[in-house]
Amino acid sequence: MHDDRRLNGAIDVLVSLAEPDDAERVRARIGVQRQGDGTVPTNNRWSAVREISSAPLPASAPLWMLEEDEPLINELVLLAGVLPGALQIAVIDGEPFGPGRREPVPRTTDVLSTAYPQRPDPIPRDRLVPELRAVTGMRGGHRIARWIARDDWQHVIDADVERALPGYARWALALRSDCPAALRERFASHPRYAHRMRTAGIVAGPGAYAGTQRPALAALSLLATGRWAFPSRMLDAEAALRPLVRESLGANVEAWAVLAQLLPTFTGTVPELVVTAGAIA
């Protein structure tokens, strides 16, 4: 098998979903090594930052990472530069992101020493909705959306319930990774909504991402990173892929060998890869 850390990690995501005895036979046959124990990599943080910032990173992924409320992960996400301004400030302030959590998140020395990002003058809450209603293009929508404070979301939801916000403002709001589900659901009737969200990488979780992202190597590489970057969310991906892996590949080491050969250039999704490898073998 091609000696490539990224490829090894991607294949290992799938091998680890096989029955334990089958997984050991597969590792021996195709030479894939077991990867990591889910520990945040601290010995080479810039390598970890590159993993986070490498394309294609779905827009939802940084939020999955922040939901861990793990100081080291927060530091790496902040260093990767993948957050809109308002979320950078939330991380620097130690705000929690995990569902139901209220306690401040401890901050590393590097996060505490990070300067607040340059930002325009904050929009007072009483001006926020009028500014959104005045949006006439995506550029203006993004300019406002990326700086909306997290505790202003309910104010925005209430305004949209009262009278729908302009389309461009709605698109920009929906493309913020932490846009509340209650607000996105109000936009879902638009015929282009699903395509726009999917193209931007706004997905419900790693399971949905793994099932639709092309090529398969990109999806599996993100899941390999997710073992340490968003372990709580990985259960979703594993639940989505495990039945398919065990049904299509199982203990068939030749099918696994075919998968390892196909993966570097395969243009389809992970499910298509798994099914194709099983069918060829």
Burial of residue 201 (number of CB atoms within 10 Å: 0-12, 13-18, 19+): middle
Q: How far apart are CA 215 and CA 269, in angstroms?
A: 6
pLDDT at 3: 44
* Enclosing H/E stretch for 28: helix 20-30
pLDDT along the chain (281 residues), means of 10: 76 96 94 84 86 85 97 96 94 96 96 88 86 96 94 95 95 95 86 84 93 94 95 95 97 96 97 97 86
Q: How far apart are CA 137 and CA 140, in angstroms?
A: 6
The upper half-sphere exposure of residue 124, i.e. CA atoms within 13 Å in the direction of its Cβ, equals: 2
Supply the pTM of this predicted model.
0.93
pLDDT at 55: 67
